């Protein structure tokens, strides 16, 4: 009896309702349908059917289970309209609902969920620009001493005194990683410094794109100090793109060349300790800098100096002492202060049950 009732109810059931999914590129529609209250456990399964307009082509888009009367169809195009229907299976019986009214997905020009992020980006950019313009006016800005960067001169000097080369590792990541770019910026400074003392710098690289850039950076750095003759095409080379193959190569290089100074700057993974511990065993002075939080402890214990996280990004400004670059670090500190204040305030508010961040980020 209940089956007959169910079949009759489903036959008269309203067609599914279709809504646009907001903040997308017009490639999704949300389909909702309602089931009679008694149908739970009686309907075996359902198929969601989609009719594309104006062609009228019908596709089966998904199988649904009865307790979840909602489906997001991500296979639509914003240039077309669609209608949906549900095909119910109750034992051997199939019942199809009426087709929904046509719905067209909307392609959004702005993702409203990202607005808070956009505001923060603008705020941070403004703070940085204000400091950069202040620096342009010639105001001097103080930077706290960073031991790892103060030691660069000493490290290069030591290699010169010992007559041994410097090994520079610009991380193992790709050029899309900002840490790699920071490492290449530092490479330019160190090459210039090493060039002034005519000390050899060897740069084995893991990533092909990073290799081509590192090569140019070293070449240009020698050119800048007026010593293009120092550039040796063999000093910057592509080693291998295998992570542990690279670790093995660099370890062997440090052991055989007996490098006086090793720099590990950029992004590192599990190979960090293999590299730094081998370097330490050769007695080289080692300076590391990375934003890979999990690898930092390994560098701290095996290297003489370690640039932690953001210090890696500050290094270029610090080494060049260029006012425009140092200004950006000041801006960065101001933003950090703002974040800290916001965190304390929001934490205090949440203690009192006020949660205003909800939904914003």
Partner 1 sequence: MRDFLIKLSKIERRYIYLALFLALTLPLIFPPNFPQKMSPTVKSVFEFIDTLPPGSHVLLSADYDASVLPEVDPMYRAVLKHCILRGVIPIGMTLYPQGAVLALDAFKEAEEYLGARRDTDYVFLGYQAGFQAVILGIGENIKNVFPKDYFGTPIDSIPAMRGVNNYKDIALVISFSGSSVPVTWVIYAYSKYHQKVAAAVTAVSAADFYPYIQTGQFVGMLAGMKGAAEYEYAVRKIMKDEGIEKLPPAKAVKGMDANSIGHLLIMLFIIIGNLGYFAAKRRK
Partner 2 sequence: MLQRRIPLVIVFITGVLMSIQYFIPHPVSQSAYNIALTWFRGVASMAYAIAVISFVRHHSRRLKQPQNSFYSAVALAAFLFMCIVGFGFGIGEGTIFAKMYLNVQVPLQATTFSLLAFYMASAAYRAFRVKGLEATLLLITAFIVMFGVTTIGNYIPFIPKLTEWLMAVPNLASKRGILIGVGLGMISTSLKIILGIERNWLGG
SS3 35: coil
Residue 98 in contact with partner 2, rule: CB under 8 A: no
DSSP per residue, 146-204: -HHHHHHHHHHHHHHHHT--EEEE--SS-TTSHHHHHHHHHHHHHHHHHHHTT--EEEE
Least distance CB 261 / partner 2 (angstroms): 19
DSSP per residue, 55-122: TTEEEEEEEE-TT--EEEE----TTSEEEEEEEEEETTEEEEPPPPPPB---B-SS-GGGHHHHHHHH
Residue 65 in contact with partner 1, rule: CB under 8 A: yes
Of the residues 65, 118, 133, 197, which one makes contact with partner 2 according to CB under 8 A: 118
| Residues in contact with partner 2, shown as a per-residue x/- string from 197 to 216 under the rule CB under 8 A | -----------xx-xxx-xx
Nearer to partner 1, 68 or 321 (CB): 68
Residue 140, both tokens: 């001097």
Of the residues 41, 233, 353, 359, which one makes contact with partner 2 according to CB under 8 A: 233
Q: Which does 143 bind (CB under 5 to 8 A by kind): partner 1, partner 2, none?
A: none
Of the residues 149, 203, 265, 312, which one makes contact with partner 2 according to CB under 8 A: 312
The interface with partner 2 within residues 33-72 (CB under 8 A) comprises none
Distance of CA 258 to the CA centre of its chain: 36
Q: Which does 239 bind (CB under 5 to 8 A by kind): partner 2, partner 1, none?
A: partner 2
Nearer to partner 1, 43 or 217 (CB): 43
C-alpha angle 158/161/166, rounded to 5°?
Answer: 50
In angstroms, rounded to a whole number, what is the distance separating the alpha carbons of residues 191 and 220? 10
The residue range among 23-31, 89-97, 148-156, 353-361 that interacts with partner 2, by the rule CB under 8 A, is: 23-31
Residue 3 in contact with partner 1, rule: CB under 8 A: no
Q: Which does 95 bind (CB under 5 to 8 A by kind): partner 2, partner 1, none?
A: none
Taking the CA of residue 76 as centre, how many other CA atoms within 13 Å lie in the half-sphere pointing to its CB? 36
Residue 112, both tokens: 């409203």
Contact (Cβ atoms closer than 8 angstroms) between residue 205 and residue 170: yes
Least distance CB 256 / partner 1 (angstroms): 18
Please return the burial class of 38, using the count of CB atoms within 10 Å of its CB with bins 0-12, 13-18 and 19+. Answer: exposed
Residue 67 in contact with partner 1, rule: CB under 8 A: yes
Nearer to partner 2, 6 or 172 (CB): 172
Contact (Cβ atoms closer than 8 angstroms) between residue 148 and residue 289: yes
Residue 293 in contact with partner 2, rule: CB under 8 A: yes
Least distance CB 249 / partner 2 (angstroms): 9
In angstroms, rounded to a whole number, what is the distance separating the alpha carbons of residues 224 and 18? 64
Residue 111 in contact with partner 2, rule: CB under 8 A: yes
The interface with partner 1 within residues 11-40 (CB under 8 A) comprises 40
Place of tokens 């974040």: 339
SS3 46: strand
Of the residues 57, 68, 137, 256, which one makes contact with partner 1 according to CB under 8 A: 68
Q: Which does 185 bind (CB under 5 to 8 A by kind): partner 2, partner 1, none?
A: partner 2
Of the residues 64, 203, 217, 315, which one makes contact with partner 1 according to CB under 8 A: 64
Backbone phi, psi, residue 287, to 5°: -125, 125
Q: What is the DSSP letter of 47?
A: E
Least distance CB 169 / partner 2 (angstroms): 16
Q: Considering CB under 8 A, how many residues would be counted as binding partner 2?
A: 89
Q: Which does 213 bind (CB under 5 to 8 A by kind): partner 2, partner 1, none?
A: partner 2
In angstroms, rounded to a whole number, what is the distance separating the alpha carbons of residues 353 and 103? 41
Residue 40 to residues 16, 45, 69: CA-CA distances in angstroms?
17, 11, 11
Least distance CB 238 / partner 2 (angstroms): 4
Residue 94 in contact with partner 1, rule: CB under 8 A: no
Longest dimension (CA), the chain: 98
**Contacting positions for partner 1 (CB under 8 A):** 40-41, 44-45, 64-68, 281
């Amino acid at each position: 009896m209940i089956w007959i009732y169910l079949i009759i109810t489903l036959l008269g059931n309203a067609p599914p309702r279709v809504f646009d999914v907001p903040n997308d590129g017009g490639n999704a529609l949300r389909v909702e349908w309602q089931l009679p209250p008694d149908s739970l456990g009686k309907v075996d399964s359902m198929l969601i059917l989609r009719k594309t307009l104006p062609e009228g082509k019908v596709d089966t888009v998904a199988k649904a289970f009865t307790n979840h009367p909602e489906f997001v169809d991500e296979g639509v195009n914003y240039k077309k309209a669609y209608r949906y229907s549900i095909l119910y299976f109750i034992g051997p019986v199939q019942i199809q609902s009426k087709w929904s009214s046509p719905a067209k997905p909307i392609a959004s020009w702005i993702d409203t969920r990202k607005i808070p992020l956009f505001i923060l980006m603008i705020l941070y950019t403004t703070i940085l620009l204000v400091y950069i313009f202040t620096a342009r006016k010639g105001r001097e800005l103080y930077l706290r001493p960073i031991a790892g960067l103060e030691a660069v001169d000493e490290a290069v000097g030591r290699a010169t005194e010992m007559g041994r080369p410097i090994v520079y590792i610009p991380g193992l990541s790709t050029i899309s990683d900002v840490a790699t770019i920071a490492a290449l910026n530092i490479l330019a400074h160190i090459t210039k410094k090493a060039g002034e003392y005519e000390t050899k710098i060897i740069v084995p690289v893991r990533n092909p794109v990073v290799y081509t850039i590192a090569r140019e950076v070293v070449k240009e750095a020698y050119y800048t100090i007026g010593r293009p003759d120092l550039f040796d095409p063999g000093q910057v080379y592509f080693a291998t793109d295998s992570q542990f193959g690279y670790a093995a190569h660099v370890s062997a290089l440090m052991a055989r060349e007996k490098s006086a100074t090793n720099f590990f700057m950029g992004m590192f993974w599990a190979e960090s300790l293999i590299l730094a511990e081998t370097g330490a065993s050769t007695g080289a002075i080692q300076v590391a800098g990375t934003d890979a939080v999990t690898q930092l402890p390994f560098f701290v214990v095996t290297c003489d100096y370690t640039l932690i996280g953001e210090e890696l990004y500050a290094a270029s400004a610090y080494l060049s002492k260029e006012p425009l670059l140092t200004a950006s670090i000041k801006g960065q500190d101001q933003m950090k202060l703002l974040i800290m204040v916001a965190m304390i305030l929001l934490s205090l508010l949440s203690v009192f049950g006020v949660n205003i961040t909800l939904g914003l980020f």
